[in-house]
C-alpha cells in the first residue's frame, strides 16, 4: 500500500512541494519563487501560467529528490493562497487575465459603494465576511466587467472561475475536475457558510453567473486523479484547504479555543470555535475551519496583509538587508525599544481596521536612526499587528490562549518569537515541523487515503520544538504597544 503523501503548497511568493511519510515527517521538498506584478497603486497580480509551471516543476523536483516511485504516493493534497482569483477558458485552461492576488485593492471603490448601499449586514450574515477587496467575489466581478467579452463568454458557459486550488486541480486533472473545498469557498463572498452552498442572493448581488463556479466538497474528499504524464502516475487528489485552514490542521488545533498564527507573506491568526459560528463584534471574520464527513467546524480569523512581505520589502524594496536571516542579528543589536515604528500598510490595513486606503509609513526617525532600527521596526510591526488581533479576540470575549502555536517562515527568527511572546504576554510555541500549511493538507489527504484513522491520531504527531515565555514587564509592554497604536492612527484614511 502506498505510504507517502505529496503536499502542494502554492503560496503568494513561491510554489512548494513537500513529500511526507505516514508519520507526518518531511522527506523531500522543493521550492520556486515567482514574479510579483504591481501594475498600479494597490494592484497585485500573478501570471497564472507561472503559478502552474512552478507548481509542476517543484512537484517533479521533490519526487526526484525523494527517490520514490510515483506509485508510492498515496495521495496529493493542495493548499493555496486563498482569495487569489483566476478565470480561465474552459476548453484550454488558459487564464483570460492575470491572477488578481488576495492583497489587491482595485475593487475598493466598488466595495465602498456596496457598504454605502447597506449590503454589508446581508453579506456578513451569510458569509461571515466583511465587504472588502480582499475577498474573491469582487475580483471575479472586476474580471468579468473589464476583460473584453468575458461576461458574455461566462454566460455562455465558456469560462471557469476558481481560487488557485481549483485552477491547479483543473490543470492537474486535464480539465476533468472543477472542484474546490469548503474553506476556499468560504472566502469568496459568494458561499453561505450556514447552508454550505453557493448563495443565489449573493450571486445576484455581485452579478456572478453560477455556471462559473466549482463544486464544493469536504476538505478530505475525492477531487479527482492527476494526468499520469505530469508525475508518472495517476495519483488521486484527496485533500484540499486554504493555506490558513491547512495550517490550523497542521498545528492540530482541533479543540475549540485553540489558536494558531501563521507568518508568511501575511499573518493570519485563527481560533477554532467548534461547531457553532461565532460572530465577532470587532471586525474579525467568521469562517470555515474545516469540513470533514459533512460536519463543519468554524473559526474566527484575523488577517494581516503584510508580515513576511515587510521583510521582503526591507530586502528587495529598499535593500537594507541582503538576506531575510540578516534581520535577526540586527534586531539583537538594537533591542526592543528603538523608538521607531514601521506601519507596513502597503496595500491597506487588514483586521481589525479594514482600511483599504491606508498606506505605509515610518515614524520616530531621528538623526541616530540607521538601518538596524528600521529593520527592527519592520520585525516588530508583525508582532504588534498580531497583538491587534489577539486584543480583538479578547474584546469579543475569548479567553486568552494558554499558548499560541506559530508557524511559517518568520518563526525561524528567535528574536521575533521572543518579542512576540513579550508583546502578547502569551507563551509562544514553535513546532518541530514549521511547514504546517503543507503538513495540514497532507494530513487531510492521508485521512481520505486511510493513512490516518482520525483527528486524534493526527494530534498525536504534533511536537513542540521550542517554547518562548513572556519576560517583558507590563509597563514596558503597554508603552511599546501604545506607540504602535498611535502610529496606526496616523496612517488611517478616515474611511472604514
| Strand 267-274 to 259-263 pairing | antiparallel
Distances (CA, A) of 332 to 329, 335, 398, 413, 464: 5, 6, 33, 11, 24
Tell me: do 329 and 183 sit in the same domain: no
**3-class SS at 482?**
helix
Are 250 and 256 in contact by the 8 Å Cβ rule? The answer is no
Omega of the bond leading into 352 within 30 degrees of 0 (cis): yes
pLDDT for res 373: 93
Residue 96 lies in a domain: yes
Residue 162 lies in a domain: yes
Rounded mean pLDDT, 29-35: 94
- d(C-alpha 412, C-alpha 463), whole Å: 16
Residue 273 lies in a domain: yes
CATH code where residue 352 lies: 3.30.420.40
Residue 62 lies in a domain: yes
Smallest CA-to-CA distance from 182 within 279, 297, 270 is with 297
- d(C-alpha 422, C-alpha 418), whole Å: 6
C-alpha torsion sign, points 481, 354, 261, 126? positive
With a CB cutoff of 8 Å and minimum separation 6, the contacts of 304 are 266, 267, 268, 350, 351, 382, 385, 386, 388, 389
> Of the candidates 189, 218, 243, which is a domain's last residue?
243
Band (496; pLDDT cuts 50, 70, 90): very low
Q: Which of 7-16, 148-157, 329-338, 358-367 has the lowest mean pLDDT?
A: 329-338
Tell me: do 481 and 371 sit in the same domain: yes
- d(C-alpha 205, C-alpha 344), whole Å: 33
Strands (E) located in 179-221: 179-181, 191-192, 197-198, 215-217
Band (494; pLDDT cuts 50, 70, 90): low
Tell me: do 232 and 260 sit in the same domain: no
Band (480; pLDDT cuts 50, 70, 90): very high
**3-class SS at 440?**
helix
> Of the candidates 226, 243, 260, which is a domain's last residue?
243
What is the maximum alpha-carbon separation in the chain? 66
In which domain, by residue range, is 319 found? 252-431+463-496
Tell me: do 258 and 380 sit in the same domain: yes
- d(C-alpha 28, C-alpha 20), whole Å: 7
- d(C-alpha 12, C-alpha 479), whole Å: 34
pLDDT at 495 over 60: no
CB atoms under 10 Å from CB of 255, counted, come to 10
Quote the percentage of the chain above a pLDDT of 70. 99
Phi, psi at 254, each rounded to 5°: -95, -10
pLDDT for res 103: 87
Tell me: do 160 and 262 sit in the same domain: no
- d(C-alpha 6, C-alpha 69), whole Å: 12
Band (435; pLDDT cuts 50, 70, 90): confident
**3-class SS at 127?**
helix
pLDDT for res 186: 95
- d(C-alpha 105, C-alpha 285), whole Å: 18
Grid cell digits, residue 437: 500549511
Element (H, E) at 32: strand 26-33
Grid cell digits, residue 140: 471575479
- d(C-alpha 144, C-alpha 151), whole Å: 5
> Of the candidates 243, 265, 293, which is a domain's last residue?
243
Tell me: do 239 and 271 sit in the same domain: no
Strands (E) located in 36-94: 45-46, 73-80, 85-89
Quote the percentage of the chain above a pLDDT of 90. 74
Smallest CA-to-CA distance from 261 within 310, 315, 290, 299 is with 299
Q: Which of 7-16, 173-182, 305-314, 417-426 has the lowest mean pLDDT?
A: 305-314
Tell me: do 93 and 160 sit in the same domain: yes
Q: Where are the alpha helices (DSSP H) in 195-274?
A: 200-206, 228-231, 243-250
Tell me: do 226 and 258 sit in the same domain: no
pLDDT for res 266: 84
Residue 458 lies in a domain: no
Q: Say if pTM beats, i.e. exceeds, 0.95.
A: no
Counts of helices then strands in the chain (DSSP H, E): 17, 22
Residue 450 lies in a domain: no
Angle CA 323–310–492, to nearest 5: 165
Residue 440 lies in a domain: no
Rounded mean pLDDT, 231-256: 94
pLDDT at 322 over 90: no
Tell me: do 282 and 216 sit in the same domain: no
Phi, psi at 352, each rounded to 5°: -90, 15
Q: What is the 3-state secondary structure (H, E, C) of 261-313?
A: EEECCCEEEEEEEECCCCCCCCCCEEEEEEEECCEEEEEEEEEECCCHHHHHH
DSSP state of 410: G
pLDDT for res 141: 97
Tell me: do 222 and 311 sit in the same domain: no
What does the pLDDT look like over 82-138, one tens digit per residue? Answer: 999 999 999 999 999 999 999 898 999 999 999 999 999 999 999 999 898 989 999
Residue 442 lies in a domain: no
Tell me: do 236 and 342 sit in the same domain: no
Angle CA 447–451–453, to nearest 5: 60
Are 238 and 444 in contact by the 8 Å Cβ rule? The answer is yes
pLDDT for res 354: 82
* 95 strand-pairing partners: 88
- d(C-alpha 451, C-alpha 401), whole Å: 31
Tell me: do 236 and 256 sit in the same domain: no
Rounded mean pLDDT, 272-276: 89
Per the structure, the count of domains in the chain is 2
Smallest CA-to-CA distance from 254 within 468, 454, 26 is with 454
Amino acid at each position: 500500500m502506498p505510504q507517502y503523501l505529496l503536499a502542494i503548497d502554492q503560496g503568494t511568493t513561491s510554489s512548494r512541494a513537500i513529500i511526507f511519510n505516514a508519520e507526518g515527517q518531511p522527506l523531500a521538498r522543493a521550492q520556486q519563487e515567482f514574479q510579483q506584478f504591481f501594475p498600479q497603486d494597490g494592484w497585485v497580480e500573478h501570471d497564472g501560467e507561472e503559478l502552474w509551471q512552478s507548481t509542476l516543476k517543484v512537484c517533479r523536483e521533490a519526487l526526484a529528490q525523494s527517490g520514490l516511485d510515483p506509485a508510492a504516493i498515496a495521495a496529493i493534497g493542495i493548499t493555496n493562497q486563498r482569495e487569489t482569483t483566476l478565470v480561465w477558458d474552459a476548453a484550454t485552461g488558459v487564464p483570460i487575465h492575470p491572477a488578481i492576488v488576495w492583497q489587491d485593492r482595485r475593487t475598493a471603490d466598488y466595495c465602498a459603494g456596496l457598504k454605502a448601499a447597506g449590503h454589508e449586514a446581508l453579506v456578513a450574515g451569510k458569509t461571515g465576511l466583511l465587504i472588502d477587496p480582499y475577498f474573491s467575489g469582487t475580483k471575479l466581478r472586476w474580471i468579468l466587467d473589464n476583460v473584453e467579452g468575458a461576461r458574455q463568454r461566462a454566460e455562455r458557459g465558456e469560462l471557469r472561475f476558481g481560487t488557485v486550488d481549483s485552477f491547479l486541480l483543473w490543470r492537474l486533472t486535464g480539465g476533468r475536475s472543477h472542484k474546490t473545498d469548503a474553506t476556499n469557498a468560504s472566502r469568496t463572498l459568494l458561499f453561505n457558510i450556514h447552508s454550505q452552498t453557493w448563495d443565489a442572493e449573493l450571486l445576484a448581488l455581485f452579478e456572478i453567473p453560477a455556471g462559473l463556479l466549482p463544486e464544493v466538497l469536504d476538505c478530505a474528499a475525492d477531487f479527482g486523479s492527476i494526468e499520469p504524464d505530469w508525475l508518472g502516475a495517476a495519483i488521486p487528489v484527496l485533500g484540499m484547504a486554504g493555506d490558513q485552514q491547512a495550517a490550523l490542521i497542521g498545528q492540530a488545533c482541533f479543540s475549540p479555543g485553540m489558536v494558531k498564527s501563521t507568518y508568511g507573506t501575511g499573518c493570519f491568526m485563527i481560533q477554532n470555535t467548534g461547531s457553532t459560528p461565532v460572530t465577532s463584534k470587532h471586525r474579525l471574520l467568521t469562517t470555515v475551519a474545516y469540513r470533514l464527513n459533512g460536519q463543519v467546524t468554524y473559526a474566527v480569523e484575523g488577517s494581516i496583509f503584510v508580515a513576511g512581505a515587510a521583510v521582503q520589502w526591507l530586502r528587495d524594496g529598499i535593500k537594507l538587508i541582503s538576506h531575510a536571516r540578516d534581520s535577526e542579528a540586527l534586531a539583537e543589536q538594537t533591542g526592543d525599544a528603538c523608538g521607531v515604528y514601521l506601519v507596513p500598510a502597503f496595500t491597506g490595513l487588514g483586521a481589525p481596521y479594514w482600511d483599504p486606503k491606508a498606506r505605509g509609513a515610518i515614524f520616530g526617525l531621528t538623526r541616530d536612526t540607521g538601518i538596524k532600527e528600521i529593520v527592527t521596526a519592520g520585525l516588530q510591526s508583525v508582532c504588534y499587528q498580531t497583538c491587534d488581533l489577539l486584543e480583538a479576540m479578547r474584546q469579543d470575549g475569548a479567553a486568552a490562549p494558554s499558548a499560541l502555536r506559530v508557524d511559517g517562515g518568520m518563526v525561524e527568527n528567535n528574536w521575533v518569537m521572543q518579542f512576540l511572546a513579550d508583546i502578547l504576554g502569551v507563551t509562544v510555541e514553535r513546532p518541530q515541523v514549521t511547514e504546517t500549511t503543507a503538513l495540514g493538507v497532507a494530513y487531510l489527504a492521508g485521512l481520505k487515503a486511510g493513512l490516518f484513522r482520525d483527528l486524534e491520531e493526527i494530534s498525536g504527531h504534533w511536537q513542540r520544538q521550542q517554547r518562548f515565555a513572556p519576560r517583558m514587564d507590563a509597563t514596558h509592554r503597554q508603552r511599546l504597544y501604545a506607540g504602535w497604536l498611535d502610529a496606526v492612527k496616523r496612517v488611517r484614511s478616515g474611511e472604514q
